[in-house]
Copies of this chain bind each other. A is one copy, B any other.
């Protein structure tokens, strides 16, 4: 009696496009500078791109790499590529030529789309990519192609409109995208997403972010980061407006927030920090309520307070590339209205609870895999399972098996569960400092140093110690015009904490960051250890 062709459709986020194009044909789908695409135009461009890819012989299962900032071309890719059954591989724009070579080759990409701003890193390796049969130049910086191949707009113009959407041959568990991890240890790994999982993550993000047809979403979060947490699909699904953005500079962010009446954006705490530090931040006039989701690191109380001073409502979410981005949300509780701002900031800085489509998460003892007590003290590993866990690592069954051991996805993050059920990450497993056998959480020390009135940013890593083997070292970025001393910082920690956990040394300066705004602790650590390999299980 079950008749799939009538009562079952595959779950795919691609299917939301034609619905929005039908309901809101004349509504603005995409804004980029002076450029405006209505939903009708957005759909037509996507269909032409899909047609052009089909005409080049690309189809089901073929990988298509994009090296592109948050411009309309990358949004279009999120629909056109999976629409023909192909697999989207969005790559970080900040990589080196050799990293691009590795990823393009490993992903088996047949086509590579490159924004001209980043073509310089691809030119030297273009001849050494035998699997790639097509380069497409997305030209905004130069009038003509830099790589041998068509220019994006003329490539699009050559495509037939209205290809199948999606082809009947696609199964909901088939690949829609591969996202390469930043590879803090070893080679980057290709995280595989399915149509079904991205579709459910899309519905979940709509609900958790509260996206509506009148929402305006600013593209501060890179789309190459977990497919922009599924927002290319989520914003489109509700018929809202995308505001594209090539560079994440605070002046431009604030200008667009005002000009386009932005209602939502996502960003790492690092981007929020540049916004707070922007001299004219206080003069910004919000035309409507503005909500930001932040992840990548725990937002400091200074960031939470700073955002709220501007009038921006901040919500902390947490996840990993392997989870399609956010898996948890620090859901707000009515009882928090009675708390002082500092306590609220501490509550909001926690990673929170599983999202409506995340559902399954536990913090477990690393030996026994049993859940730790909800006492806010017992540290365990954060593990997840469910709809939004990746299919696995591309061509790496061994790493997949390792990540999935015991029937859970292992995040590698350590955390505690508070009595109210909220997760708080205490450290990456690899960031723990082992001082004479004692496990010291680098984040715990960072949290204390953040309370020092002169500190803007801090990172704590292990440094060699002749007596204890390792000891904590703090890298501090002072606030503008402040000059705290090493002794002050150490004394500040000692007065608030067990003496043994205070940093041994303090260094002042800027922190190295990844393209997605994460502090590269591995880099700081390897500098301390002079390239010595060191592992904490």
Interface residue range, chain A? 35 or more
Question: Which residues of chain B come closer than 8 Å to A9, judged between CB atoms?
Answer: 359-360, 385-387
**Pairwise interchain contact A1-B385, C-beta atoms closer than 8 A:** no
The distance in angstroms between the C-alpha atoms of A22 and B361, with both chains bound, is 12
**Pairwise interchain contact B359-A5, C-beta atoms closer than 8 A:** no
- The verdict on A237 contacting chain B, using a C-beta distance below 8 Å, is yes
The distance in angstroms between the C-alpha atoms of A207 and B239, with both chains bound, is 12
**Pairwise interchain contact A409-B238, C-beta atoms closer than 8 A:** no
- The verdict on A389 contacting chain B, using a C-beta distance below 8 Å, is yes
**Pairwise interchain contact B3-A387, C-beta atoms closer than 8 A:** no
Q: A451 → chain B, closest Cβ, in Å?
A: 28
Among A42-50, A222-230, A400-408, A440-448, the one that faces the other chain is A400-408
Given A15-B359, A353-B22, A356-B238, A404:B27 Cβ within 8 A: no
Chain A contact surface mostly: loop
Question: Which residues of chain B come closer than 8 Å to A385, judged between CB atoms?
Answer: 5-7, 9
- The verdict on A210 contacting chain B, using a C-beta distance below 8 Å, is yes
Question: Which residues of chain B come closer than 8 Å to A210, judged between CB atoms?
Answer: 210, 212
- The verdict on A397 contacting chain B, using a C-beta distance below 8 Å, is yes
- The verdict on A320 contacting chain B, using a C-beta distance below 8 Å, is no
**Residue from A1, A9, A353, A408 having most chain B Cβ neighbours under 10 A:** A1
**Pairwise interchain contact B353-A23, C-beta atoms closer than 8 A:** yes
A1-40 near B? 1/0 per residue, CB < 8 Å: 1110111110100011001001111110000000000000
Question: Which residues of chain B come closer than 8 Å to A6, judged between CB atoms?
Answer: 385, 389, 404, 407-409
Which of B8, B27, B334, B389 has a CB less than 8 Å from the CB of A334? B27
Question: Which residues of chain B come closer than 8 Å to A24, judged between CB atoms?
Answer: 333
- The verdict on A173 contacting chain B, using a C-beta distance below 8 Å, is yes
Given A23-B421, A331-B213, A421-B23, A389:B7 Cβ within 8 A: yes
Question: Which residues of chain B come closer than 8 Å to A421, judged between CB atoms?
Answer: 22-23, 25
Enumerate A119-147 residues with CB–CB distance to B below 8 Å: none
A205-217 near B? 1/0 per residue, CB < 8 Å: 0110010111000
Q: A341 → chain B, closest Cβ, in Å?
A: 21
19 A-B pairs in the complex with CB atoms less than 8 angstroms apart: A1-B391, A3-B400, A3-B407, A6-B389, A6-B409, A7-B197, A7-B385, A7-B391, A9-B359, A19-B353, A22-B421, A23-B421, A27-B334, A203-B207, A203-B357, A206-B356, A210-B210, A213-B331, A214-B334
